[in-house]
Amino acid sequence: MYTPSSTRYETMKYNRCGKSGLLLPAVSFGLWHNFGDNASEDNMKDLIFTAFDNGITHFDLANNYGPAPGSAETNFGKILSSDLGDYRDELIISTKAGYDMWPGPYGNWGSRKYLIASLDQSLKRLGLEYVDIFYHHRMDPETPLEETMEALAQIVRSGKALYAGLSNYDGATLEKATAILDELHVPFIINQNRYNIFDRTIEKNGLKEKAKELNKGIICFSPLEQGLLSERYLNGIPEDSRIRTDGRFLKEDRLTSDKLDRIKALNEIAKKRGQTLAEMALAWILKDGYVTSVLVGASKASQILDNIKAIENTAFTLEELKEIDRISVG
């Protein structure tokens, strides 16, 4: 039987999510990979317990995480019920709907029909009565925004989620959605978007600035560009790396020789700062206070321990920032 470390709240930093009452750990943990049908139960437990033992209170899921879709929720649900049930009130658990989940016209995108049915399915798989945050997973160009936001409102009113979130929205749509959600008095507090040294989309599509202006939190996914922004690939492609073991979303052709040169140059800056490249990549996201939490994945518990160290130094000199920009987006 698992007993959490008594020192679990001693080192983690907790940041306020927008202007809400909710604090999130500066580093959160996501179950997109390594929690599917073929994942080892021992390793899944090691990852979750290492995270929680070190103050990571926030675990992020989606209806479709696997493979097979849904299996990450089922596997996390088993760990919750066997080991973490007594600690439910110390945990922030999120899930989402918005991508293809079941056959036919009602298992995708942003209709009221899909979102409400999907959350009911997620709760069954997780063995929970409510999640802490429920996200609409991506913008839907066809469904009226009002309908999707009304569905989030109904979900929160029904008690099946405490807070609402939006994922993969841009600044302009975030603004429109916020106006609707405010009118409906929905506790919408957080945006989940991809952001890392290589991917500056949220700086360009207005999301980063708009979230700050509207006092909404941001949690960044793939902060290590799925592992590229680490020491993982400096000397070739390891057999146990995501490119080799999974490859659904991180394909080998993403690691071009140009990219590898950039990764090596970034690694030199990290070394001078006394950080691993992964630590520096996470610190870079947290540097200016716009981002509430970085949402990392991991295949090994040791990676979580490395990633948590990022919060020890999130200050950058102007020269370092310019050099990082020159190498990564120059």
Is residue 297 close enough to count as binding ligand NAP by CB under 6 A?
yes
With respect to ligand NAP, which residue has the nearer C-beta, 86 or 115? Answer: 115
Q: How far is the CB of 137 from ligand NAP (least distance, A)?
A: 6
| Residue 324 half-sphere exposure toward CB, CA atoms < 13 A | 23
Is residue 278 close enough to count as binding ligand NAP by CB under 6 A?
yes
Q: Is the peptide bond before 67 cis (omega within 30 degrees of 0)?
A: yes
With respect to ligand NAP, which residue has the nearer C-beta, 159 or 304? Answer: 304
Is residue 30 close enough to count as binding ligand NAP by CB under 6 A?
yes
Q: Does residue 110 sit in helix, strand or coil? A: coil
Q: How far is the CB of 6 from ligand NAP (least distance, A)?
A: 25
Is residue 222 close enough to count as binding ligand NAP by CB under 6 A?
yes
Which of the ranges 37-45, 173-181, 260-268, 292-300 carries the binding residues for ligand NAP, by CB under 6 A? 292-300
Which of the ranges 125-133, 176-184, 215-223, 263-271 carries the binding residues for ligand NAP, by CB under 6 A? 215-223
Q: How far is the CB of 238 from ligand NAP (least distance, A)?
A: 7
Q: CA–CA distance from 306 to each of 44, 269, 271, 280, 303 (Å)?
A: 17, 17, 14, 11, 5
Kindly report the backbone phi and psi dihedral angles of residue 317, in degrees, each rounded to the nearest multiple of 5, phi listed first: -80, 160
Is residue 296 close enough to count as binding ligand NAP by CB under 6 A?
yes
**208 sits in which H/E element:** helix 207-213
Environment class of 85 (CB within 10 Å of its CB; exposed 0-12, middle 13-18, buried 19+):
exposed
CB 62 within 8 A of CB 137: yes
Give CA–CA dist 163/157, Å, rounded.
10
Is residue 60 close enough to count as binding ligand NAP by CB under 6 A?
yes
Residue among 321, 229, 233, 316 at smallest CA distance from 276 = 229
Is residue 47 close enough to count as binding ligand NAP by CB under 6 A?
no
Give CA–CA dist 28/217, Å, rounded.
13
Q: How far is the CB of 39 from ligand NAP (least distance, A)?
A: 11
Token digits for 282?
């996470």
Give the x-and-dash track for 300-329 against ligand NAP (CB under 6 A): ---x--xx----------------------
- At a CB cut-off of 8 Å and minimum separation 6, what does 132 contact? 91, 92, 93, 94, 161, 162, 163
Give the x-and-dash track for 238-277 against ligand NAP (CB under 6 A): ---xx-----------------------------------
CB 118 within 8 A of CB 97: yes
With respect to ligand NAP, which residue has the nearer C-beta, 47 or 180? Answer: 47
Environment class of 142 (CB within 10 Å of its CB; exposed 0-12, middle 13-18, buried 19+):
exposed
Kindly report the backbone phi and psi dihedral angles of residue 324, in degrees, each rounded to the nearest multiple of 5, phi listed first: -60, -45
Q: CA–CA distance from 64 to each of 97, 149, 191 (Å)?
A: 8, 21, 19
With respect to ligand NAP, which residue has the nearer C-beta, 237 or 329? Answer: 237
Q: How far is the CB of 183 from ligand NAP (least distance, A)?
A: 25
Residues 150-189 that bind ligand NAP (CB under 6 A): 167-168
Q: How far is the CB of 292 from ligand NAP (least distance, A)?
A: 14
Is residue 149 close enough to count as binding ligand NAP by CB under 6 A?
no
Which of the ranges 145-153, 230-238, 252-260, 311-319 carries the binding residues for ligand NAP, by CB under 6 A? 230-238
With respect to ligand NAP, which residue has the nearer C-beta, 185 or 237? Answer: 237
Residues binding ligand NAP (CB under 6 A):
30-33, 60, 137, 167-168, 192, 221-227, 230-232, 241-242, 278, 295-299, 303, 306-307
